[in-house]
Amino acid sequence: MASGRRNEGGFTIVEVLVAIMILAIGAMTTFSLLTAATRNAQRAKASQVALEYAEQELEFLRSLEDKSLALITAPGHVDNPRDPNYRVINQKFALQRQPVGDEHELVVNGWGLYGSDEVAGGIISPGPTPFTSGDVKGKVYRYIVWRNDPKCSEANCPGKQDYKQIVVAVKLDVPPNRAAETGYYEVQSNFVNPTDNPENDPIPTSNDSVVSAQQFFLTDTPCSSSGLTMRQEIAGNHLLHNTLGTCASGLQTGTTVGAPDALLLGSPPDPDPADPSNPIEYDYSNEPYLNTTAGTDQGLLIRKGESTGCNYQPTDKTDPQAVVHRWVTDPMAQQFTMTGKATLQFYTGALGTSAAPGKICVYLFKRREEGSPPTAFDTRLTNTSGSTSYWTYSPSGNWPGEWTKVRLTMSFNGSPYPIAGGERLGVALSVEAAGTTAGGISFLYDHPDRLTRLEIDTTTPLEGG
């Protein structure tokens, strides 16, 4: 009987072990890649949260009265380059981060620097103050320093306390899955209001003048016909305010001309800073013809006009109040002098959050109201670029589909430009039809998380601005 080797099928144990090893190596590589991607996504998210939190804190501090902008106590030096307090040196803070330099005196209650009176009234804690935003945790550090205005002579601006500047730093906590200590994120303000204006002449003729940014916040409250306007709480969605009349017209909706909304010195209050959903974002124009999909039309909707161009006086015969919206300050108690530049910071989003090309027109004007019933006499400021009586803004691509902060800087002719006592300063918005494909553009303001304001460079800052 002949004998032969049987032909066995299947894998040998060695082949199985090799296959298992290859699968394990592949799985480990894939897992490592997924872990790295997840970790990078978490870092990116945490970085964005830190920067947004720092910017919100900076916006809040900028909205306070000047006398409140002082630290209640001085921060101490920490011998760790990854800690913001590493830059605190001998009662000074270094504005330059790396290499550490450009040191300036801290503004702290009880400190009398350069022979001046002691600082009092400050309410700012230097921190570090813990915060939590979702699954991101960290600490906030705050610094306020004195700045000297090199353009202002010693005779007009004695000492080195001409301006204040704010720095906010956010240092994230080290997550459990990471051993290495992280650095920190920071934002710095431009110069904020000086403690006082040394110029006695409201219209200085020399270059030795103190210039600061006066803030006026856009509100959803109609302006008062006389005296100070008291901000009204926004309690719910409401019809569009018709702002085409005078302050004496009072609150009106529909086609009846009414009071412009108010530009006020104080920022909108935040009932619960730890809760981003409080207060609610309300709809300021909930007429059926202005409504879009529910939940996507918060704030104010400005409809594009029927005529092309920037039309301060609406040309629409139907619902003209929906194509131009105006805000004015209370009457100036004394002359307010503007020095040639203003910046409008606003939050905007496309109609119905559907991104599309868009273009807006912005108008600056001064107003006096005379007669009985009062008549408004508006004088519009002219743009130094082209001498038009408006400024325009359009993004390079589509209008953003979600709330986005925009800063439009406007230079105007006639500096120094006075707003006389009893006159009002105003700003208005419209949507340019030719540059906008959607039916309108939305704006959100009078909300503590969306600080929409007009910043005016001035030599005569107002108390509380």
pLDDT digits (tens, 9 = 90+) for 427-464: 999 999 999 988 899 999 999 888 898 988 887 777 54
Residue-level pLDDT at 274: 63
Q: How far apart are CA 314 and CA 309, in angstroms?
A: 11
Q: Number of helices (H) and strands (E), helices first, in the chain?
A: 1, 20
- CATH code 1.10.287 for 212-458: no
Q: Which of 29-38, 47-56, 308-317 is predicted most confidently?
A: 308-317
Sign of the CA dihedral with 263 first, then 269, 274, and 277 last: negative
CB 53 within 8 A of CB 173: no
Residue-level pLDDT at 24: 75
Q: How far apart are CA 451 and CA 19, in angstroms?
A: 61
Band (11; pLDDT cuts 50, 70, 90): low
CB atoms within 10 A of CB 48: 12
Domain residue limits, the chain: 50-188, 212-458
Q: Which parts of 68-198 are beta strand (E)?
A: 88-89, 92-96, 101-105, 129-133, 136-147, 163-172, 185-188
As a whole number, the mean pLDDT across the chain is: 82
Q: What percent of the chain has pLDDT over 70?
A: 79
Q: How far apart are CA 364 and CA 342, in angstroms?
A: 9
> 């300021």: which residue's tokens?
284
Q: Is the pTM of this model over 0.85?
A: no
Q: How far apart are CA 78 and CA 86, in angstroms?
A: 5
Q: How far apart are CA 303 and CA 430, in angstroms?
A: 8
